[in-house]
Amino acid sequence: MMKVNSEEKHSDPFKVERLEWERQQRKERYKKVLTICSPVFLLLLWEFLSRTGLIDARFFPPPSDIVGTLVAMGMSGELFQHIGVSLYRIFAGFLFGVIPGIVVGLLMGLYSPIRHFISPIVMALMPIPTLALLPLIIIVFGIGDASKIVTIAGSVFFPVVINTAAGVMNIDGIYLDVAKNYGASPKDHFFKIALPGALPVMMEGVQMGQAIALLTIVAAEMMGAASGIGYLIWTSYKAFMIQEMFVGLIMISFFGYLFSVLLRILQSKLIPWR
């Protein structure tokens, strides 16, 4: 056994390694195919079950029909109007949640008196789902864009503030020592050490905030709105327009995916040193 092995290696080491390399490449390709296969498989199965009547086509219309409805709604412009409204609310709410979240989180991480003062407030408010406050928010801000933006901002704020503060506090003490030893001013300390040092953990919070923003917008628009993707889903359901409802769901899934990809690209641009 030993002998055979060594003779094989003896024949041509480059060939052996090349074959190994090709094997690895095949394996990688195979994994990629698997990743693409799973959603395609699911859609085909759904189409089949729905067409053959094995599942109720009234509740689970075949995907090909849903695509048809999507195209029709796109042509009429109705879909884009709802999407536009929701995207505006998501972006505005996201920014109003993320920016204060980062600022407050940095201050909490850097200055322990601020941390000790603010953290009980954060801890007490965090467990309350912003959606549970929606009735109150609607009374104050009406059923237009403002109430949605406030709701999203409120939901996004907490993961960002907590992760940012944790990010600052997790910065290795040695970098703080270096900054101090080399005479960094408070401003330099903030921008050269705290902010970049906290960035990786902070971006995790922003990713979480993005996911929460999508969950929140749908629910908020379902509960009290006159437009948006959540409104589309809810009114379609109530009118038993199941295909239109599925179009709304697909839109949420699509934007959820798109946003997380965009954020990941942003993350690798912002944190090239990782």
Closer residue to other proteins (CB): 68 or 196: 196
Query: Nearest approach, Cβ of 172 to other proteins (angstroms)?
Result: 7
Cα dihedral angle (75, 79, 84, 90), rounded to 10 degrees? -150
Query: Nearest approach, Cβ of 268 to other proteins (angstroms)?
Result: 13
Query: Nearest approach, Cβ of 164 to other proteins (angstroms)?
Result: 16
Closer residue to other proteins (CB): 35 or 181: 181
Candidate residues 45, 123, 139, 178; the one interacting with other proteins per rule CB under 8 A = 178
- Using the rule CB under 8 A, is 174 a contact of other proteins? yes
Closest by CA position to 215, among listed 95, 94, 72: 94
Closest by CA position to 183, among listed 198, 193, 170: 193
Task: Give, as ranges, the residues between 6 and 25 that touch other proteins (CB under 8 A).
Answer: none
Query: Nearest approach, Cβ of 269 to other proteins (angstroms)?
Result: 13
> What is the pattern of x (binds other proteins, CB under 8 A) and - over residues 182-201?
xxxx--x---xx--xx-x--
Task: Give, as ranges, the residues between 74 and 103 that touch other proteins (CB under 8 A).
Answer: none
Task: Give, as ranges, the residues between 193 and 252 that touch other proteins (CB under 8 A).
Answer: 193, 196-197, 199
- For residues 69 and 28, give the distance between their C-alpha atoms in angstroms, rounded to a whole number: 37
How many residues line the site for other proteins (CB under 8 A)?
A: 22
Place of tokens 């901002």: 153
Candidate residues 5, 6, 38, 181; the one interacting with other proteins per rule CB under 8 A = 181
Query: Nearest approach, Cβ of 174 to other proteins (angstroms)?
Result: 5
Ramachandran sector of residue 200 (left: φ over 0; alpha: ψ -120 to 50; beta: rest): alpha
Contact 97, 164 (CB under 8 A): no
Closer residue to other proteins (CB): 41 or 191: 191
Burial call 153-170: b when 16+ CB within 10 Å, e when fewer: bbbbbbbbbbbbbbbbbe
Contact 241, 199 (CB under 8 A): no
Candidate residues 46, 91, 141, 175; the one interacting with other proteins per rule CB under 8 A = 175
- For residues 106 and 118, give the distance between their C-alpha atoms in angstroms, rounded to a whole number: 12
- The CA-to-CA distance between both ends of the chain, in Å, stands at 45
Closer residue to other proteins (CB): 132 or 174: 174
Applying CB under 8 A, the residues found at the interface with other proteins are 172, 174-175, 177-185, 188, 192-193, 196-197, 199, 271-274
